[in-house]
Amino acid sequence: MIIEEHQLKHSRKTSSTKPIEQKRSHHRVYFFQLVQKNQGTAFPVPSKELAMTTQFAPTLPEAAHLTFNPRNHNSEPLKYESNMERERRRPNEAIKQLEENVPDQLKSLPQWVLWRYEGQPGEKPKKQQFTTDGRLASVSNPETWTTFTHALRMYTQSRGYEGLGLMLTKDLTVIDLDNCLDTNGQPTPQAQQIVRATSSYTEISPSQKGLHIFLLGSVPGTSRRRENVEMYDTDRYITITGRRLPGTPDQIRENQEIIDRIHHQFISPPEVTRSPARAFYQPQALTHREIIDKALGAKNGAKFSRLWSGDTTLYTSPSEAHLGLFAMLLYWTNGDVKTAEELFKESGQFDKETEKKWNDRHSADGKTYGQMTMEKAQDTRKNYTQKRSPKRNY
């Protein structure tokens, strides 16, 4: 009886501790393998432990792989790299293209920044711009910009950034064509038409699916985007790769006429007969405080609160934040532009810098920054009142 009880306890102990013993044996075997690999010494591995772990012990190449790669959404194995190995892997070709292909017209501008991808898991990464000392760069703060030489040197030395970017101020237009290159790098017919018409320095975007065309001049009107064609000349930053599209000039061309024509054909809204929709809206007999309280109490009140307080982080630039708040104010004032402007000037968005440029000329047709913001807000806002018209009794 005593012998049977002892055998039962022994069998239970062996069964419950078997996985732990296997794991320990695996670690010992793996240690011996590492020593043999690094020092060239031949330590004998106990045959019993080797027999226990042969069926599940990984080989060295497999053990040197990571199972998760934050840059690889398909979770494919990624070989581990030390900082020194990653530094040697820096694409020297990308640095060479920046040095050799970027036109001197861009290199001479003191408006350069660094950028890298940032974002939450499952979301499209954002190209966030940074100063050379790691702070966030701003399109409205020239103190966060630097020269091309300094930006390139920091990009070469640092491994935390994806490339260089340029802040756009004025007199330099960038035509941004999204998803216009096929898998062979050939432009779509629309892109070919624009590239031929501009005949100016053109480079491939970081995604290798788009094109950036540079021209000297200003973008007319207030519209900046339609479908996959965008045009910018201020309050924006653009990534620079130096990967020039084969067959395009190596210098930036000055041609305001071409800019106007491209904008009219691909950006300006189609001409349609419109009813006087603005006459539908009537100013509300509410005080400023009552209007703000209604906006704060709405479903999107949290967003309105952030914009009202002066927060611009919801958008890629302060000008887009200004447009977003003004459009919301137009909604809550039933399209009363005068009241909406008065409210906007009471908000945190109307800081000293915005106040300074609000009445400054910002376009070739003489319109001020304030006029452009208000007109674009009127053109893009949604007619919620008409959409949610009250029921009628017939």
pLDDT tens figures, 309-318:
888 888 888 8
- In this prediction, residue 385 carries a pLDDT of 40
**Contact (Cβ atoms closer than 8 angstroms) between residue 248 and residue 195:** yes
Distance CA 208, CA 185 (A): 8
**Contact (Cβ atoms closer than 8 angstroms) between residue 238 and residue 199:** no
CA separation (Å) from 345 to 25, 98, 304, 308, 340?
Answer: 72, 42, 15, 10, 9
Mean pLDDT of 279-291: 67
Distance CA 195, CA 201 (A): 9
Phi, psi of 225 (to 5 degrees): -155, 140
- In this prediction, residue 216 carries a pLDDT of 95
Distance CA 2, CA 312 (A): 79
Structural tokens at position 78: 């990624």
Residue 229, Cβ density class (10 Å: 0-12 exposed, 13-18 middle, ≥19 buried): buried
- In this prediction, residue 140 carries a pLDDT of 87
- Please name which of 102, 162, 138 lies closest in space to residue 154, comparing C-alpha atoms: 162
Distance CA 372, CA 341 (A): 12
What confidence tier does 49 reach under pLDDT thresholds 50, 70, 90?
Answer: very low
Q: Residue 294 above 50 pLDDT?
A: yes
pLDDT tens figures, 200-229:
999 999 989 999 999 999 998 888 888 889
Q: Residue 383 above 70 pLDDT?
A: no
Structural tokens at position 292: 């703000």
Q: Residue 165 above 70 pLDDT?
A: yes
- In this prediction, residue 89 carries a pLDDT of 47
Q: Residue 149 above 90 pLDDT?
A: yes
Distance CA 81, CA 94 (A): 20
Instruction: Tell me the pLDDT of the chain averaged across its residues.
Output: 77
- In this prediction, residue 381 carries a pLDDT of 62
pLDDT tens figures, 318-336:
889 999 999 999 888 888 8
